[in-house]
């Protein structure tokens, strides 16, 4: 069997199936080998060619000579007093990202990262204070889901039920890889999960929200809103300067029109910043035309910023105002605070 022409070892999971078929045919392998290899790579999440036990040693050697599997590894794991597990994942080039397993009574949710760092500099978010280094490959996102899913089984004996793209990075700035990772997660040749159990959360890139509509995606979309007037939102999310609330509203209506997927708005309540009844009224005005629900999220202070979590009675009044207007509201208590695993706290800190 001859080696493929280029001697640079390629990441086998970045190669399109048709291309792998061609390489294998050139190497004199039977067509069904490609299917077996794909099954090892995705469904069985093989981290090395040696694991591919139904391939001949010769085929495995040929694969090793020509390709690599850039598998993600768990470098560190921390368990919160509320059973949340945060993992630091090591990527093949030495970068790190974080992911979180959030167990609740009804769900086992994996929160995964889509970029190393983030370029959007949201003021309340620890990742926003890190430099963006690179996008994650589809396989690197997929690996996080697989590893967190193993943690769910090993620690709680319950399979993963939901996946949220709310870790480090802006998913819609890594559009192609994020969509490809969802394809693998939902494919019967991958994890076979329903797209309805996946939520991609964006800080708000209007053009890409419309593209999701054009691509008729089946997963859920969440917008990290956090303020429903441009002046306030500009202060905490600089992306709003070029993607105003009006542009976002239009993009979300377009998305809904195309996909009929109900939106989720994430709204962190900061003390004395966006927690008054006037803020609640603006939020209602913004959301009322869009079939949606609102998740009100407790804030977890980070050392880089001075925002504080709101007080319980202010939060309750805020939620009650929205409910009175007929908005579907969920209050999300913070999880994994003691290990910096809560929303907005993810940043690589070696312990
Ligand atoms: S909230 Fe999301 S988009 Fe904003 S800086 Fe943090 S990771 Fe990036």
DSSP state of 328: E
Tally of domains within the chain: 2
Which of 68, 91, 118 lies at the terminal end of a domain, its last residue? Answer: 68
73 inside domain? no
What pLDDT, on a 0 to 100 scale, did the predictor assign at position 351? 40
> Do both 120 and 225 map to the same domain?
yes
Residues lining ligand 1, CB < 6 A? 118, 120-122, 125, 127-128, 168-170, 203, 224
- Print pLDDT tens along the chain (351 aa): 555 554 679 999 999 888 999 989 988 888 889 999 999 999 999 999 999 999 999 999 999 999 999 999 999 999 999 899 999 999 999 999 999 999 998 999 999 999 999 999 999 988 888 889 999 999 999 999 999 999 999 999 999 999 999 999 999 999 999 999 999 999 999 999 999 999 999 999 999 999 999 999 999 999 999 999 999 999 999 999 999 999 999 999 999 999 999 999 999 999 999 999 999 999 999 999 999 999 999 888 888 888 898 999 999 999 999 999 999 999 987 777 776 766 566 665 544
Nearest to 130 by CA among 122, 141, 139, 138: 122
Measured torsion, CA atoms of residues 282, 208, 205, 187, in degrees rounded to the nearest 10:
90
Active-site position among 98, 170, 266, 298: 98
Q: Give residue 118 CA to ligand 1 midpoint distance, Å.
A: 6
Gap between the Cα atoms of 341 and 265, Å rounded: 20
In 3-state terms the chain splits into helix, strand, coil percentages (rounded to 5) of 40, 20, 40
What pLDDT, on a 0 to 100 scale, did the predictor assign at position 228? 97
What pLDDT, on a 0 to 100 scale, did the predictor assign at position 300? 82
Q: Give residue 205 CA to ligand 1 midpoint distance, Å.
A: 12
Question: What number does the ligand 1 atom closest to the CA of 125 have?
Answer: 6
Question: What number does the ligand 1 atom closest to the CA of 170 have?
Answer: 3
Active-site position among 118, 122, 125, 343: 343
> Do both 245 and 168 map to the same domain?
yes
185 inside domain? yes
Enumerate the H helices of 94-174 as residue ranges. Answer: 138-156
- Give, using CA atoms, the residue closest to atom 5 of ligand 1: 128
Structural domain boundaries enclosing 61 = 10-68
What pLDDT, on a 0 to 100 scale, did the predictor assign at position 302? 83
Gap between the Cα atoms of 140 and 17, Å rounded: 18
Q: What is the 3-state secondary structure (H, E, C) of 86-102?
A: EEEEECCCCCEEEEEEE
Gap between the Cα atoms of 306 and 299, Å rounded: 11
Q: Give residue 344 CA to ligand 1 midpoint distance, Å.
A: 7
Nearest to 252 by CA among 205, 321, 307, 188: 205
Q: Give residue 218 CA to ligand 1 midpoint distance, Å.
A: 23
CATH number at residue 18: 1.10.150.530
Gap between the Cα atoms of 72 and 93, Å rounded: 10
Gap between the Cα atoms of 331 and 317, Å rounded: 12
> Do both 150 and 281 map to the same domain?
yes
Identify whether the C-beta of residue 143 lies closer than 8 Å to the C-beta of residue 97: no
What pLDDT, on a 0 to 100 scale, did the predictor assign at position 68? 97
74 inside domain? no
Which of 43, 68, 93 lies at the terminal end of a domain, its last residue? Answer: 68
Identify whether the C-beta of residue 315 lies closer than 8 Å to the C-beta of residue 279: no
Bridge partners of 292? 263
What pLDDT, on a 0 to 100 scale, did the predictor assign at position 126? 86
CA distances to 26, 40, 67, 140, 346 from 62, rounded to whole Å, are 12, 16, 8, 24, 40
Question: What number does the ligand 1 atom closest to the CA of 203 have?
Answer: 3
CATH number at residue 164: 3.20.20.70
Which of 18, 43, 68 lies at the terminal end of a domain, its last residue? Answer: 68
Q: Give residue 262 CA to ligand 1 midpoint distance, Å.
A: 22
Pocket test for ligand 1, best of 99, 114, 117, 118 (most atoms within 8 A of CB): 118
Residue tagged 């999220």 (tokens): 297
Identify whether the C-beta of residue 248 lies closer than 8 Å to the C-beta of residue 292: no
Identify whether the C-beta of residue 295 lies closer than 8 Å to the C-beta of residue 319: no
349 inside domain? no
Pocket test for ligand 1, best of 116, 124, 125 (most atoms within 8 A of CB): 125
Gap between the Cα atoms of 245 and 140, Å rounded: 32
> Do both 111 and 244 map to the same domain?
yes
Pocket test for ligand 1, best of 97, 120, 340 (most atoms within 8 A of CB): 120
> Do both 55 and 200 map to the same domain?
no
Q: Give residue 202 CA to ligand 1 midpoint distance, Å.
A: 8
Reply yes or no on whether 343 is catalytic: yes
Reply yes or no on whether 111 is catalytic: no
- Give, using CA atoms, the residue closest to atom 4 of ligand 1: 122
> Do both 106 and 211 map to the same domain?
yes
**What's the Rg (C-alpha) of the chain?**
22
């Amino acid at each position: 069997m001859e080696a493929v022409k280029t001697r640079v070892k390629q990441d086998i999971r970045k190669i399109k199936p048709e291309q792998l078929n061609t390489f294998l045919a050139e190497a004199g392998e039977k067509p069904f080998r490609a299917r077996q290899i794909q099954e090892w790579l995705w469904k069985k999440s093989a981290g090395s060619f040696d694991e591919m036990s139904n391939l001949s040693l010769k085929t495995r050697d040929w694969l090793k000579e020509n390709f690599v599997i850039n598998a993600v590894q768990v470098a560190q794991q921390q368990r919160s007093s509320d059973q949340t597990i945060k993992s630091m994942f090591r990527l093949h080039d030495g970068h790190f990202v974080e992911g979180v397993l959030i167990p609740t009574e009804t769900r086992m949710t994996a929160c995964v990262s889509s970029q190393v760092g983030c370029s959007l500099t949201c003021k309340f978010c620890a990742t926003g204070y890190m430099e963006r280094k690179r996008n994650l490959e589809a396989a690197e996102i997929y690996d996080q889901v697989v590893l967190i899913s193993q943690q769910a089984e090993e620690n709680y004996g319950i399979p993963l039920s939901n996946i949220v793209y709310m870790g480090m990075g802006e998913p819609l700035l890594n559009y192609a890889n994020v969509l490809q990772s969802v394809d693998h997660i939902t494919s019967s040749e991958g994890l076979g999960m329903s797209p309805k159990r996946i939520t991609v959360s964006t800080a708000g890139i209007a053009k890409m929200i419309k593209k999701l509509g054009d691509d008729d995606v089946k997963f859920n979309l969440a917008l990290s809103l956090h303020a429903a007037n441009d002046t306030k939102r500009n202060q905490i999310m600089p992306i709003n300067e070029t993607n105003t609330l009006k542009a976002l509203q239009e993009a979300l209506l377009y998305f809904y029109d195309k996909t009929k997927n109900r939106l989720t708005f994430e709204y962190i309540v900061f003390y004395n910043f966006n927690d008054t009844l006037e803020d609640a009224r603006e939020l209602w005005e913004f959301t009322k035309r869009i079939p949606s629900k609102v998740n009100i999220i407790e804030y977890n202070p980070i050392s880089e910023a001075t925002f504080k979590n709101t007080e319980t009675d202010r939060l309750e009044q805020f939620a009650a105002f929205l409910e009175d207007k007929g908005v579907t509201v969920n209050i999300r208590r913070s999880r994994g605070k003691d290990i910096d695993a809560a929303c907005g706290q993810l940043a690589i800190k070696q312990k």
